[in-house]
Amino acid sequence: MPTRRELLALTSGAAVTAAAGLAAPTAAHAAGTAHQDGDGDWTIPGWIATWAAAPTTIPPNPPSAPIVLANQTVRHVVHCSAGGDEIRIRVTNEFGNGPLRLGAVRVALRAGSGAGTATVPGTDRRVTFSNQAEVRIPAGSPLISDPVRLRVPPGADLVVSLYLPARTPVTTLAAFAFQDNVIADGDVTAARTVTPVARVDQYLFLSGVSVRDRGAAIVTLGDSITNGANTQNNLNHRWPDLLAARLRSSGLRRGIANVGISGNRLLHDPNPAPGSDAESFAAYFGHSGLRRFDRDVIAQPGAQFVVVLLGVNDLGHPGTVAPESETVTADDLIGGHRQLIARAHAAGIVAIGATILPFKGDTLGFYTEANERKRYVLNRWIRSGGEYDGVIDFDRAMGDPADPLRLNPAYDSGDHLHPNDAGMAAMADAVPLRLFK
């Protein structure tokens, strides 16, 4: 479920707006001519995901008025994991009720860091879709841009600006960005700097960036812990970001598409009780991991690996923000993970399982002795079941040495479930890089 900080960010944003071992070459190699580097790393020249944000819809009763854009530009900051000489942008109207009109889309390298959205002179580029600069995206659909010639260094930030000329309620978004994006009046997509009329901690209608490079993409499928909950905004301290930095330092050409969604479950879509507080935020939890796997994992450009960290919300939501009738067993969770493995393998993707972090004493009401027993059984299966192609043992890396059922206090953001920035770094350090060769 969203943390208190996440809900406060949503409320304030809307209010302001109103003002394992080596993996063998996969089936993907059939798509082109493979090249083997000196270290034995198989790569193919082509498109690989460098950044992603999994889209969700808005709740029927949000905590404040929904965002409505009219003759305004949304300027997003995107932290790229991999680099290349060309890029493509994915925009989406997947939860829209009618066509989404984009009057202009532009992209540039970002100047500086932190919360700024200024661009580097000489890097601004127009983005077209099927050779059209102004487009209408049908309801329920994404749109992939034409290739854009722009040299993007690994680890660089992009500024992606969308101009919405007509009155446009925001229906499709990534609700928790942990990055300050801005809204400005008029079509200022090409401007080096803009004057914000609002700041939003969300990605609006933007869900992916890919680069042309030889390499491969890793998709991290998870919940708020993968999404980056409770990390400091604008610092890119989500564990997948920090893992990407490790991969770059090691010389492995790997993009990372982080499709973590706060509150996401493996087996169930959001289902708040009628009249409950959860009706105001549960829609942000997104479709279940099983339901969104094809869109968020298999469809990622160059996807050759998936890391799955899902299950804690399946344990904790029933009885808190979901009906007791959705209580799951350890066997239910294992069955769901087996489905993800089978679907990954059918697509030629290496499947890596991550153990569920400890959460004894959490402030969200997730922990019970029964849930701890289920977590233990699931983690034991992930470690030793032999069905995942590789394992990342976050449970052992993040436990309190004095009480392994609790999150290490040095890594605790305060709710005893979500890691802080130091915890995210420890998670990234716990990932064996050999899994991605």
What are the tens digits of pLDDT across the range 374-385?
999 999 999 999
Name the nearest CA neighbour of 179 among 230, 226, 225, 114: 114
pLDDT in tens, 7-58: 444 433 333 332 233 333 333 333 334 445 544 444 456 999 999 999 999 9
Angle at 213 between CA 137 and CA 348, to 5 degrees: 80
Instruction: Determine the pLDDT at residue 138.
Output: 98
Contacts of 408 (CB under 8 A, 6+ apart): 398, 399, 400, 401, 423, 426
d(CA 66, CA 246): 38
Q: What are the angstrom distances between the C-alpha of 96 and each of 17, 58, 67, 138, 340?
A: 19, 10, 13, 8, 27
Instruction: Determine the pLDDT at residue 6.
Output: 52
Backbone φ and ψ of 284, nearest 5°: -65, -15
Contacts of 17 (CB under 8 A, 6+ apart): 67, 68, 183, 198, 200
- Sign of torsion over alpha carbons 160, 241, 259, 196: negative
Instruction: Determine the pLDDT at residue 112.
Output: 87
What's at 31, amino acid-wise?
Answer: A
DSSP code of residue 288? -
Instruction: Determine the pLDDT at residue 34.
Output: 47
d(CA 383, CA 337): 13
Q: What are the angstrom distances between the C-alpha of 182 and each of 238, 264, 307, 431?
A: 21, 26, 31, 34
What's at 213, amino acid-wise?
Answer: D
Q: What are the angstrom distances between the C-alpha of 213 and each of 43, 147, 356, 430?
A: 9, 12, 33, 27
- Sign of torsion over alpha carbons 51, 171, 281, 316: negative
Instruction: Determine the pLDDT at residue 219.
Output: 99
| Low-confidence residues in the chain, pLDDT < 50 | 4-5, 7-35, 38-43
Instruction: Determine the pLDDT at residue 63.
Output: 76
Instruction: Determine the pLDDT at residue 45.
Output: 63
**Which residue matches tokens 């003002």?**
19
Contacts of 419 (CB under 8 A, 6+ apart): 225, 230, 239, 357, 398, 407, 411, 412, 413, 426, 427
Backbone φ and ψ of 371, nearest 5°: -65, -35
Instruction: Determine the pLDDT at residue 115.
Output: 81
d(CA 354, CA 309): 5
Contacts of 368 (CB under 8 A, 6+ apart): none
Longest dimension (CA), the chain: 60
